A and B are shown apart, each in its own frame.
Chain A
């Protein structure tokens, strides 16, 4: 295989839409005003900031904190948005039936119409990737499993699970896939720390700049 590099450089050719032409969209934050504000010089900062950061069109309104909390279901790999709550494997096993997951995904996480939830039966493998594209085993972070079940399942009744229920079901699915022990309880601290087998098994996406080729050294 020829070597290809993932350049962080800007494209050498001057493109009309090169980075240099990008609006300076971070200007606002690094402005002197923020630092002054931190120093408590509030009045002064209002004046400076208003110039550097005021909106151009003044359309839209500010959401309330409750609105943001209700809408914001994206969970990052570090789990900072995870809500309080906890759940065990045993509770998850019950909920898997109670919440009708089994109807679509099968009693043992496979064999029904919806995608399988347990790893493929391939025995011991050197590369955990080979267990297949099955969220609770392929995902590099347990947070992605939590996030997806919370936002999208059970299909048709999405958004009805409580945080405790989601922690429990995630625990059960990770247990079924031999990722965690049966006695483990998951909460906002323990869940992001789970070492998923594919944790370091995903390629990084390249940094992207306007006008750059797909892959440096690849002519196609």
Chain B
């Protein structure tokens, strides 16, 4: 008999004796100082089938944009992701932000019945089942989506409120160009109109150059099917363009000769050409998620400053961090390999000395576009410094002030 076996036999004997008198709990080591679990999670068929996070994790999305979701009609409007608790670059599907133009029901679609039609200025009009779409060569890419309304305001207290209308997921599907080549785009096909099946059949007009470049028809999200709130069973991804273009519950793509000025287009457009341009492709942007508004540093000492950076112009090339309100800047570390039009995690080792200070981050993308401070925006457009209005999509630098008691506040004025 090996010594291992005899040890085990000894253990069992002792265990049986103890169990008789004192119950299993008493079989713990005498030292007893190690933290113990609160108990065991009772296995259920449900948990075996589809896992669940710990009951101690309660990261939650919140209704956003000044209107409750669901509203009086049962429509979802804007729902913000809890970036303050995010780690890495992927937003869990259950926590991914949700945006709809003016509120929408979430359609309950049977994928077996769902169809995608491609028609208009094409050589071959085509209808696909989901099964057929899954037979095409697929791609898997990390991409963020961001709502045009993702704008920090001084009344916001957390990063969820200031920046939670963006998320990043791993998307799987077919390149739209694959399907458009299959259909054969005709001369004069300068735009596409993409349309969903929700009650208002939300539709957006998208330039054909973008459609042929990197748009993706997604059936997969973070390793499983796209969630209903994200457009199950099929959604369009228009990487780097504002959220409204990323049509959910996609059923139809019409290749057309002109800008169609759909309800979504009309509501999104403005009078000022600069604002229109800046509300199209998303600019270089970043935000520190730790430490961020409403969090608290318990004591002076070491912390890793961490945040997310992204740009609609391509990959994040550089992120800088300032701990003195923008007077001096240091390069942050990029965690992982930056992907085009994807959230990129950055961080910096930092020792807080316990004094009041202001943290900022600044993103530069591969096109050389640099995230501006609000003062820089004001100077560029000759706006009074106390009435800064960032044109188009707001990509201005987010300042967080840390008080000497360790409380973190939104420092936007």
Number of interface residues of B (CB under 8 A): 80
Q: Residue of A at shortest CB range from B126?
A: A60
Chain B residues positioned under 8 Å from A208 (CB to CB): 207, 209-210, 280-281
Taking a contact as CB atoms under 8 Å apart, the answer to whether B72 and A205 are in contact is no
Taking a contact as CB atoms under 8 Å apart, the answer to whether B267 and A158 are in contact is no
Chain B residues positioned under 8 Å from A219 (CB to CB): 369-370, 372
Given contacts A76-B260, A148-B200, A205-B276, contact A113 B123 (CB under 8 A): no
Which of A165-173, A182-190, A209-217 forms part of the interface with chain B?
Answer: A209-217
Cα-based distance from A55 to B122 in the complex (angstroms): 12
B271 interfacial contact with A, CB 8 Å = yes
A119 interfacial contact with B, CB 8 Å = no
CB contact list, A156-185 vs B, under 8 A: 156, 158
Chain B residues positioned under 8 Å from A9 (CB to CB): none
Chain B residues positioned under 8 Å from A204 (CB to CB): 273, 276
Is chain A's interface secondary structure helix, strand, loop, or mixed overall? Answer: loop
Cα-based distance from A90 to B359 in the complex (angstroms): 62
Taking a contact as CB atoms under 8 Å apart, the answer to whether B214 and A17 are in contact is yes
Q: Residue of A at shortest CB range from B180?
A: A25
Interface size band for A: 35 or more
Taking a contact as CB atoms under 8 Å apart, the answer to whether A71 and B380 are in contact is no
Taking a contact as CB atoms under 8 Å apart, the answer to whether A62 and B126 are in contact is yes
A133 interfacial contact with B, CB 8 Å = yes
A124 interfacial contact with B, CB 8 Å = no
A to B CB contacts below 8 Å, 28 in the list:
A17-B213, A53-B184, A55-B184, A56-B181, A57-B136, A59-B136, A60-B132, A61-B127, A62-B127, A63-B117, A63-B125, A68-B117, A72-B252, A74-B260, A76-B258, A76-B260, A140-B261, A147-B263, A205-B269, A206-B273, A208-B207, A208-B209, A213-B313, A214-B280, A215-B277, A220-B371, A220-B380, A220-B395
Give per-residue flags for A53-88: 1 if the beta carbon is below 8 A from chain B beta carbons, else 0.
101110111110001100111111110000000000
B187 interfacial contact with A, CB 8 Å = yes
CB contact list, A1-60 vs B, under 8 A: 1-2, 4, 6, 11, 13, 15, 17, 19, 22-23, 25-26, 28-30, 53, 55-57, 59-60
Chain B residues positioned under 8 Å from A214 (CB to CB): 277-278, 280-281, 283, 312-313, 369, 392
Chain A residues positioned under 8 Å from B258 (CB to CB): 76-78
Q: Closest 8 interchain pairs by CB?
A: A152-B200, A203-B276, A220-B372, A60-B126, A148-B263, A203-B273, A29-B187, A60-B128
A201 interfacial contact with B, CB 8 Å = yes
CB contact list, B268-321 vs A, under 8 A: 269-278, 280-281, 283-284, 312-314
Taking a contact as CB atoms under 8 Å apart, the answer to whether A67 and B117 are in contact is yes
**B residues adjacent to A (C-beta < 8 A):** 72-73, 102, 117, 119, 123-128, 132, 135-136, 177-178, 180-187, 189, 193, 195, 199-201, 203, 207-210, 212-214, 251-252, 254, 256, 258-263, 266-267, 269-278, 280-281, 283-284, 312-314, 367-372, 376-377, 380-382, 392, 395
Chain A residues positioned under 8 Å from B380 (CB to CB): 2, 218, 220
Given contacts A208-B209, A210-B209, contact A29 B261 (CB under 8 A): no
Cα-based distance from A139 to B271 in the complex (angstroms): 12
Chain A residues positioned under 8 Å from B277 (CB to CB): 6, 205-206, 214-215
B161 to chain A, nearest CB (A): 23
